[in-house]
A = this chain, B = another copy of it.
Amino acid sequence: MTWRAKVVYNLVWSLGAPEPCFAQEGTIKYTILFKPEDKRVEVPSGSLIQDAALEAGVEINMPCGGQGRCGRCAVIVEEGEVRRRSALRLSAQEVEEGWALACQTVIESDLVVTIPPQERIERRIPTAKVAAKIALPFPYDWRQDQAIQNCFVSVEPPSLDDNTDDFSRLKRALTKEHGIRGLVADLPLLRKLGAVLREADWQVTTVLELDTWASPEGPPRLVDILPGDKTATSWGVAVDIGTTSNVVYLVDLLSGEVRDMAIDYNGQIARGEDIISRIIYASEDDGLRELQELVVGTINKLLKRVCGRQGIKSSEIYKMVVAGNSTMIHLFLAIPPESIRLEPYVTATNHPLPVRAREIGIDINPEATIDCLPGVGSYMGADITAGIASSGLCESKKLTLFMDIGTNGEIVLGDCDWLISCACSAGPAFEGAGVEHGMRATAGAIEEVWINSQTLEPTYRVIGNGSPRGLCGSALISLLAEMFITGIVDKRGRVRKDLDTPRVRGGEHGWEYVVAWGTETAHGGDIAITQVDIENVIRAKAAIHAGYSVLSKSLDVEISQIEEFLIAGAFGQYLNVERAIQIGLLPDLPWEKFKFLGNTSVRGAYMALLSRQARQEIAQIAQMMTYMELSADNRFTQEFVSALFLPHTQIEEYPSVMALLEEQG
């Protein structure tokens, strides 16, 4: 069975449960009873069914990330009143029968809700509810797929007649019992070898790395030697080093399952929010070393967390695969990233060679290999090659566009035969930075806004159910879309000054729209979006739009011919397609073409951790991908300028938006 035939990508892997979020609609509490588990929970009015389910510990699969588009979170409202924001994917009859999308349905009374069996998720690992949702990416057999092999061997004790050295005896036993030849071992292993063999009465478990991507025909290497039979467990970790967040998957290398995961902010954030400021910081004095220590510290903290929860020692982790953008990989390895930000934007290396954990201070087995996945260039890193691999794009005959939106938007267009890519700097607006009241998508961030087209009064949802503190990226998109649809801004994004509402006003930094008054907020100040903020958001969406437009035009492909539109990344995960189309960030295509994949980077790392072939495939992706440098491309500038309108200069390409505007008058 070939690799391509064997891989069955599961596009609906769930990325894990978001924190419960509660609407700010009032303080009335309703009681929700979930069946068949008979779990009861009390939530404020205005909450979504998904929030109540999370609060109750009832898990519901939400592959589309709660966008109301996949229909997989459908539940039956047996009793009580609800308001369906969207019933996409549900037929009229189903709505009649009480079906509702948990992610789109607001609770308006006490409820009895039944979770249909197919949507209930087995809690295989009670302590790792999040990780339990991550499916195996392909059929997995560790004996075939895994480079890490734990082999128990009975080594023949030496005698005067046979006084071969310890290491040769071990090699002989491995050849005899497991057919493994040519073993090599680094000094730390040779130093402990004799003692372990004798303590264990010559019955030992060897942890071997059969090969690495850098030397697939290289000799097997002894990673560890343990007394007795320790073949029952074997652990690895997959890591995504994002500029903002770092994610660790703890993986059982025997079953292939993700047994736990942990996520936290990259400790480098305090030294610069974006890549460029980190690169500048790294070039100063001891900056590079400091940035490395910070990210290594973050990863070690996450490792400690998952190891603690699963009751394993960090030394039992025998392999780590890392994905991340090229700057993050450079900083992780303490390779100076200076040239990444200077024309002509080259990295020191796009294909770092495997290193040992002890070389960079990662708290796993010191002899474990850390394999940083290969990227394509300075702005097309291993996060994207890993993402492409985990998205299944390379297995597909469909013309597919893959994009990862963040400070930089990376865009890949292709299918199983070819890949072309570009990167465009969207600026930090989508990450809530460079915006008057912007913030990251953490507790207290307004994440969605609705504006009443008559009163121009807003309603909003806050992450974590507290008082609002600012606007995160998705709120900015939501807000701009609503302001455009309700006519608060014109198609150039200019705030109309003639509106009869106190929400629109001349502020310190020009005209602005007030989303929350100081009386409602956590800090007592108003939260508003300013004209400058709007222009930042428009520039960001225009850059992304220009990126995929140039890619498709350079290939003479109409955007409408694109069959799948894959959106990766944490930001993409919470993106509302409708709103994104309304501002022209996404093209006006049928919603089913869009797929939200969440963190594809860590899942690509996870695949590479499991399978040597998957690892090779990522190397092939890095090799086959053509990268278009847009910084000196006139077409990009033209497309960018055309996209500085809402939704676009050529509004006829946005029929659904035109229809809505007409409807709104």
Chain A contact residues, CB within 8 Å of chain B: 158-160, 162-169, 184-187, 190-191, 193-195, 198, 214-215, 218-219, 333-336, 338-339, 343-353, 355, 359-360, 377-378, 629, 631-632
Query: B219, B334, B343: which contacts A187 (Cβ < 8 A)?
Result: B334
Residues of B within 8 A of A169 (CB): 346
Query: B195, B214, B215: which contacts A336 (Cβ < 8 A)?
Result: B195
B218 near A346: Cβ-Cβ < 8 Å: no
Residues of B within 8 A of A350 (CB): 165, 167-168
Q: Given A191-B335, A219-B215, A336-B194, is A346 in contact with B163 using a C-beta cutoff of 8 Å?
A: yes
Query: B163, B198, B344: which contacts A158 (Cβ < 8 A)?
Result: B344
A408, chain B: closest CB distance, angstroms: 16
B632 near A333: Cβ-Cβ < 8 Å: no
A347 near B187: Cβ-Cβ < 8 Å: no
A187 near B355: Cβ-Cβ < 8 Å: yes
Query: B163, B343, B349: which contacts A629 (Cβ < 8 A)?
Result: B163
Q: Given A166-B349, A190-B333, is A160 in contact with B631 using a C-beta cutoff of 8 Å?
A: yes
29 pairs from A and B in contact (CB 8 Å cutoff): A158-B344, A160-B344, A160-B345, A160-B631, A162-B344, A163-B344, A163-B345, A163-B346, A165-B348, A165-B377, A166-B339, A166-B348, A167-B350, A184-B353, A185-B353, A186-B353, A187-B333, A187-B335, A187-B355, A190-B333, A190-B335, A190-B349, A190-B353, A191-B333, A191-B334, A191-B335, A191-B348, A193-B349, A194-B335
Query: B162, B166, B186, B349: which contacts A167 (Cβ < 8 A)?
Result: B349
Alpha-carbon gap, A359 to B214, bound state (A): 22
Residues of B within 8 A of A190 (CB): 333, 335, 348-349, 352-353
The 8 A-B residue pairs with the shortest CB-CB distance in the complex, in nearest-first order: A167-B349, A165-B347, A158-B346, A165-B350, A160-B344, A163-B344, A194-B348, A158-B344
A160 near B218: Cβ-Cβ < 8 Å: no
A454, chain B: closest CB distance, angstroms: 52
A65, chain B: closest CB distance, angstroms: 34
Residues of B within 8 A of A186 (CB): 353, 355
Residues of B within 8 A of A160 (CB): 343-345, 629, 631-632
Copies of this protein in the assembly total 2
A384, chain B: closest CB distance, angstroms: 15
Alpha-carbon gap, A198 to B344, bound state (A): 13
Residue ID in chain B nearest A170 by CB atoms = B349
B348 near A184: Cβ-Cβ < 8 Å: no
A348 near B163: Cβ-Cβ < 8 Å: no
Residues of B within 8 A of A219 (CB): 215
B333 near A166: Cβ-Cβ < 8 Å: no
Among A159, A219, A347, A351, max chain B CB count under 10 A is at A347
Residues of B within 8 A of A191 (CB): 333-336, 348
B353 near A194: Cβ-Cβ < 8 Å: no
Q: Is the interface of A mostly helix, strand, loop or mixed?
A: loop
Alpha-carbon gap, A333 to B187, bound state (A): 7
A212, chain B: closest CB distance, angstroms: 11
Among A160, A215, A632, max chain B CB count under 10 A is at A160
A346 near B187: Cβ-Cβ < 8 Å: no
Residue ID in chain B nearest A374 by CB atoms = B165
Alpha-carbon gap, A629 to B665, bound state (A): 102
B344 near A159: Cβ-Cβ < 8 Å: yes
Among A184, A346, A359, max chain B CB count under 10 A is at A346
A174, chain B: closest CB distance, angstroms: 14
Among A198, A334, A348, A351, max chain B CB count under 10 A is at A348
Residues of B within 8 A of A194 (CB): 335-336, 338-339, 348
Alpha-carbon gap, A219 to B166, bound state (A): 28
Alpha-carbon gap, A464 to B34, bound state (A): 98
Residues of B within 8 A of A631 (CB): 160
Alpha-carbon gap, A164 to B339, bound state (A): 12
Alpha-carbon gap, A335 to B160, bound state (A): 22
Residue ID in chain B nearest A336 by CB atoms = B194
Alpha-carbon gap, A487 to B298, bound state (A): 83
Residue ID in chain B nearest A352 by CB atoms = B190
Residue ID in chain B nearest A631 by CB atoms = B160
Alpha-carbon gap, A631 to B352, bound state (A): 52
A348 near B378: Cβ-Cβ < 8 Å: no
Alpha-carbon gap, A325 to B369, bound state (A): 32
Q: Given A160-B629, A191-B336, A377-B163, is A214 in contact with B184 using a C-beta cutoff of 8 Å?
A: yes
A193 near B377: Cβ-Cβ < 8 Å: no
Residue ID in chain B nearest A378 by CB atoms = B163
Alpha-carbon gap, A516 to B176, bound state (A): 64
Residues of B within 8 A of A165 (CB): 346-351, 377
Residue ID in chain B nearest A169 by CB atoms = B346
If A164-B346, A167-B350 are given as contacts, then 12 extra A-B residue pairs at C-beta distance below 8 Å, sorted by A number, are A162-B344, A165-B377, A166-B346, A168-B350, A186-B353, A187-B334, A187-B355, A187-B360, A190-B352, A191-B348, A194-B335, A194-B338
Query: B187, B193, B195, B353: which contacts A359 (Cβ < 8 A)?
Result: B187
A42, chain B: closest CB distance, angstroms: 54
Among A214, A218, A339, A377, max chain B CB count under 10 A is at A339
Alpha-carbon gap, A378 to B194, bound state (A): 14
A631, chain B: closest CB distance, angstroms: 7
Residues of B within 8 A of A214 (CB): 184
Residue ID in chain B nearest A219 by CB atoms = B215
Alpha-carbon gap, A349 to B194, bound state (A): 9
Residue ID in chain B nearest A376 by CB atoms = B165
Residues of B within 8 A of A159 (CB): 344
A289, chain B: closest CB distance, angstroms: 11
Alpha-carbon gap, A186 to B349, bound state (A): 12
Residue ID in chain B nearest A359 by CB atoms = B187
Residue ID in chain B nearest A160 by CB atoms = B344
Residue ID in chain B nearest A157 by CB atoms = B344
Residues of B within 8 A of A168 (CB): 349-351
Residues of B within 8 A of A215 (CB): 218-219
Alpha-carbon gap, A556 to B164, bound state (A): 26
Alpha-carbon gap, A198 to B165, bound state (A): 49
Residue ID in chain B nearest A629 by CB atoms = B160
A382, chain B: closest CB distance, angstroms: 12
Residues of B within 8 A of A351 (CB): 165, 167-168
